[in-house]
Amino acid sequence: MRIVVLVKEVPDTFGERKVSLETGLTDREACDPVLDEICERAVEAALTLAGTGEHSVHLMSMSPESAASSIRKGLAMGAESAVHICDPALLGADLSLTAEVLAKAIEKEGFDLVIAGNLSTDGNGGMVPAMIAEWLDRPHLTHLSALEATATTVSGTRAGDDGDSQVTAELPAVVSITEAFPDARFPNFKGIMAAKKKPFGTLTLADLGIDAQDFSIPRAIMTEVAERPPRAAGVKVTDDGTAAAQLADYLAQNKLI
């Protein structure tokens, strides 16, 4: 079985993240770029799965050219190859275009199982895996906290408020995992050196036959962006016998009651 893990480079969550007021996009120069932690966990889940049978693990990313080094981290962890979808027209792509591009690339490369994180730490959309499954007309197992696979099926555990559910789907399929999966392994020196020689293919929109300006497919278009206002000082309520009334007035003015 050929497994593909969707990976993404994001701004480091430990740094200050900013939005460019000119483009409306994340200012990726403002902090260090890293491979998203949930993507690392997805790679780890795939590599663990590969150890249980005749499965190969590959990576796929739709990202700028500068993200190549982050993608290679997944290769250093143990993935066999990577596909990097890179095209200037994809700058600022919305969820719809992102899902379409990734689905077409997955279909082109012929992967049996798609593993993704439940949501990225920069966009927090949480919809791309489901949208990819819709494009591919494949079953989608969401928010898994455990994962298993055979030659013909994939199954896992989904945690819920009322208990855990066991879900199964026929391959080919798409799954998304949660932070319940273990931390990713650290690439060793041997893996880092080997990653430099592993297959690393690139695709453009022309290769996939996609027009980013085709608005017959619904696309989100940003019309306005503004910087978040600075946090104002809080209101101090002094209990002089009217504290309850002051608090009630404050809540009413801010439409909290």
Q: How far apart are alpha carbons 37 and 69 in whole angstroms?
A: 15
Q: Which of 109-113, 170-174, 179-183 has the lowest mean pLDDT?
A: 179-183
Task: Kindly indicate the confidence band of residue 72, based on its pLDDT and cuts at 50, 70 and 90.
Answer: very high
Task: Kindly indicate the confidence band of residue 24, based on its pLDDT and cuts at 50, 70 and 90.
Answer: low
Counting every residue, how long is the chain?
257
What is the reported pLDDT for 146? 94
What are the CA-CA distances from residue 201 to residues 128, 136, 147, 214 (Å)? 22, 21, 28, 26
Q: Which of 27-36, 82-91, 122-131 has the lowest mean pLDDT?
A: 27-36
Task: Kindly indicate the confidence band of residue 27, based on its pLDDT and cuts at 50, 70 and 90.
Answer: low
pLDDT at 186 > cutoff 70: yes
DSSP state of 225: -
In whole numbers, what is the pLDDT of the chain averaged over residues?
Answer: 89
Which residues are registered as beta bridge partners of 6? 60
What is the reported pLDDT for 257? 87
CB 158 within 8 A of CB 145: yes
pLDDT at 47 > cutoff 90: yes
Most confident of 59-63, 216-220, 221-225, 244-248: 59-63
Q: List pLDDT tens digits, range 133-151.
A: 999 999 999 999 999 998 8
What is the reported pLDDT for 197? 94
Q: In the chain, where are the structural domains located?
A: 2-208
**pLDDT more than 70, % of the chain:** 94
CB 119 within 8 A of CB 77: no
Does CATH place domain 2-208 in 3.40.50.1820?
A: no
Query: What value does the mean pLDDT take over residues 14-36?
Result: 73
Strands 173-177 and 200-203: unpaired
Task: Kindly indicate the confidence band of residue 53, based on its pLDDT and cuts at 50, 70 and 90.
Answer: confident
